Amino acid sequence: MVGDAYLEALRNIYSLHARGIKPGLLRIIHLLDELDNPHLQYPSIVVGGSSGKGSTSSMIGSILREAGYKVGLFTKPHMLRYTERFQVGGREISQGELVKTYEEVWEAKESVESKGHYPTFFEFTVALAFQIFYKMGVELAVMEVGLGGRLDAVNIANTTLSVITNIHREHTHILGETLQEIALEKGGIIRKGKPVVSGAESGAEKVIKNIAYILSAPYHPIHDVKLLSFYPSPKGQEIELSLGESTWSFRLPLIGLHQIHNAKLALYAAKTFHSLPSHSIIRGLGKVYWPGRMEYLQKDGVPILLDCAKDPYSLALTLRSIPIYLGHNSVLTVVSISRDKDYKRMMSLLSKHSKYLFITRHRVMGRATDPKTLASFSTIGFKILPSVEDAISCALQYSKNFDNPLIFVTGSVFTVGEAIKYLRKEPSDPL
């Protein structure tokens, strides 16, 4: 049941979306100063990069919990509930916990607004995370960067370790047109004298390495971690990694080749941060929970894969992983993509790797691309449906006409969130 106070809080917080995205640290500095700087009361591991930030953050948080730390985990965006963004001790905070701290941060927001500083939705949310974690007594926070890094609100954290997952072209209107320009922004989360674990490759890796050198930040590249073996299955994968003279064998309950990359980063981060014990790493990776990321389930005996891929880079990795982990011949894709994404290239990829498309529109704040626009870039058969639920239902019916079918739901975290609500009947915010 959703409380009235929680609904009011959500309405007020979501009203800040009207302020858009405004890179810069001045507003978050003033807002946190009004709250007596809760972010300085504990260290943070800051996770940036172009994709895989949420998965990597979740893995690191799980390892730290197994090592005995009380951990605050901040991720974005949420799929069903705003409270998903804030976890303490591996638990999503309650509506009541959210409301209590929201009132303090909203009062601080109004105070700084009276002085001419107007925090955005994301800046308010980051301040809320820092305050929640302080009030709930975390020993350490794992914070996922929003966009870029250098001028992102999360970059105000008391950073003890930086992690950069990978770097590819995205948000070029804000971060720059070239990979090197984007890498400069992503590398802005590196702190002087503090270690950085990096999964960046090629030209981007050189930029990150140079930033680390200039800042005397110990540099730990992902290629130090070697993949010795992996055994894929629809529900997880058995992985063996090595770093130096040490090896780790574990079962990762997340599938996809990209999750091996993320597990390497999480392991290296754990060894870099206080050289956490091997048993904590193995148990932490084995217990990680990150729904909607190549998540495999069934409905009416038909296999379904949910994945939040929101750009061509992430989608290509997922499509490459499907035959390795699932082996299905006939991919029937349910898709809705937000209009600020590269939907033309994504539709091209889906057309090449699918037998049929079920094109729809997610419901989040009018952000979905018109299904007719998506359909115009399809080169295979398609059907347009009014909702994610209708599209999945239609795909289930069509699946009877295909050999070895797999229903693949993708295009956005919002699309997958609506699929999870339908398939698992999970509670969601009404807004």
Domains of the chain (ranges plus CATH)? 4-287 (3.40.1190.10), 295-424 (3.90.190.20)
| Helix (H), strand (E), coil (C) string for 201-225 | CHHHHHHHHHHHHHCCCCEEEHHHE
Q: 373: which 2 tokens?
A: 């626009």
pLDDT at 102: 98
pLDDT at 365 > cutoff 90: no
pLDDT at 173: 84
pLDDT at 364 > cutoff 90: no
- List the one residue out of 190, 326, 313 whose CA is nearest residue 258: 313
pLDDT band at residue 373 using 50, 70 and 90 as cut-offs: very high
Q: Is 305 within 8 Å of 409 (Cβ atoms)? A: yes
pLDDT at 251 > cutoff 80: yes
pLDDT band at residue 1 using 50, 70 and 90 as cut-offs: low
Percent of the residues in the chain that have a pLDDT greater than 90, as a whole number: 94
Q: Is 38 within 8 Å of 158 (Cβ atoms)? A: no
pLDDT at 2: 65
Give the other-Cβ count within 10 Å of 16's Cβ: 17
How much is the average pLDDT of 379-405? Answer: 97
Mean pLDDT of the chain: 97
How much is the average pLDDT of 203-207? Answer: 95
For the segment 50-104, what is each residue's pLDDT rounded down to a tens digit? 999 999 999 999 999 999 999 999 999 999 999 999 999 999 999 999 999 999 9
How much is the average pLDDT of 164-188? Answer: 92
How much is the average pLDDT of 14-41? Answer: 97
Who wins on pLDDT, 57 or 175? 57
For the segment 331-361, what is each residue's pLDDT rounded down to a tens digit? 999 999 999 999 999 999 999 999 999 999 9
pLDDT at 3 > cutoff 90: no
For the segment 111-157, what is each residue's pLDDT rounded down to a tens digit? 999 999 999 999 999 999 999 999 999 999 999 999 999 999 999 99
Q: Is 421 within 8 Å of 80 (Cβ atoms)? A: yes
How much is the average pLDDT of 311-329? Answer: 94
- List the one residue out of 276, 189, 265 whose CA is nearest residue 227: 265
Q: Is 64 within 8 Å of 189 (Cβ atoms)? A: no
Percent of the residues in the chain that have a pLDDT greater than 70, as a whole number: 100
Of the given ranges (37-41, 170-174, 303-307), which has the lowest mean pLDDT? 170-174
pTM of the entire predicted model: 0.97
